[in-house]
Amino acid sequence: MKIAILGGDGFVGWPTALHLSHLGHEIHIIDNLSRRWIDTELGVQSLTPMDSIQERCRVWHELTGRRLNFHLLDLSSEYERLKTWMGENAPDAVIHFAEQRAAPYSMKSDRHKVYTVNNNINATHNLLAALVETGIDAHLVHLGTMGVYGYSSVGAAIPEGYLTVELDKLDGGRATQEILYPTKPGSVYHMTKSLDQILFQFYAQNDGLRITDLHQGIVWGTHTDQTRRHDQLINRFDYDGDYGTVLNRFLIQAAIGHPLTVHGTGGQTRAFIHIQDSVRCIELALADAPKARDRVRIFNQMTETHRVRDLAELVAMMTGAEVAYLPNPRKEAAENDLVVRNEQFLELGLDPITLQEGLLDEVVDVAKKFAYRVDRSRVPAVSAWTKDLSQKVEHDP
Residues with a known catalytic role:
145, 189, 193
Nearer to ligand USQ among residue 131 and residue 308 (C-beta): 308
Give the phi and the psi of residue 29 in degrees, each rounded to 5. Answer: -90, 125
Q: Indicate whether 381 belongs to the interface with ligand USQ (CB under 6 A).
A: yes
Closest residue by beta carbon to ligand USQ: 147
Q: Indicate whether 245 belongs to the interface with ligand USQ (CB under 6 A).
A: yes
Minimum CB separation of residue 125 from ligand USQ in Å reads 19
Distances (CA, A) of 59 to 6, 23, 34, 54, 228: 20, 17, 22, 9, 13
CB 339 within 8 A of CB 300: no
State the binding string over 201-220 for ligand USQ (x if CB under 6 A, else -). ----------------xx--
Q: Indicate whether 268 belongs to the interface with ligand USQ (CB under 6 A).
A: yes
The residue range among 34-42, 117-125, 133-141, 243-251 that interacts with ligand USQ, by the rule CB under 6 A, is: 243-251
Report which DSSP code applies to 135.
Answer: T
Minimum CB separation of residue 328 from ligand USQ in Å reads 6
CA 126-104-39 angle, to 5 degrees, is: 75
Largest CA distance in the chain: 71
Residue 334 to residue 327: CA distance in whole angstroms: 11
Minimum CB separation of residue 120 from ligand USQ in Å reads 11
Nearest to 328 by CA among 397, 259, 251, 272: 397
Q: Indicate whether 158 belongs to the interface with ligand USQ (CB under 6 A).
A: no
Q: Indicate whether 46 belongs to the interface with ligand USQ (CB under 6 A).
A: no
Residue 362 to residue 395: CA distance in whole angstroms: 35
Residue 6 to residue 115: CA distance in whole angstroms: 18
Residue 169 to residue 350: CA distance in whole angstroms: 41
Among 130, 285, 308, 360, contact with ligand USQ (rule: CB under 6 A): 308
Residue 279 to residue 68: CA distance in whole angstroms: 16
Among 22, 101, 139, 378, contact with ligand USQ (rule: CB under 6 A): 101
Q: Indicate whether 263 belongs to the interface with ligand USQ (CB under 6 A).
A: yes
Half-sphere exposure of 160 (CA within 13 A, CB side): 18
Q: Indicate whether 306 belongs to the interface with ligand USQ (CB under 6 A).
A: no
Beta strands 139-145 and 210-216, pairing class: parallel
Q: Indicate whether 249 belongs to the interface with ligand USQ (CB under 6 A).
A: yes
Among 78, 207, 332, 362, contact with ligand USQ (rule: CB under 6 A): 332
The residue range among 155-163, 261-269, 282-290, 340-348 that interacts with ligand USQ, by the rule CB under 6 A, is: 261-269
Q: Indicate whether 266 belongs to the interface with ligand USQ (CB under 6 A).
A: yes
Half-sphere exposure of 34 (CA within 13 A, CB side): 21
Where in 123-152 is the site for ligand USQ (CB under 6 A)?
145-147
Q: Indicate whether 102 belongs to the interface with ligand USQ (CB under 6 A).
A: yes
**List of E strands, 54-97:** 68-72, 93-96
Query: Under the rule (CB under 6 A), what is the footprint of ligand USQ?
Result: 101-103, 145-147, 217-218, 245-246, 249, 261-263, 266, 268, 270-271, 308, 328, 330, 332, 381
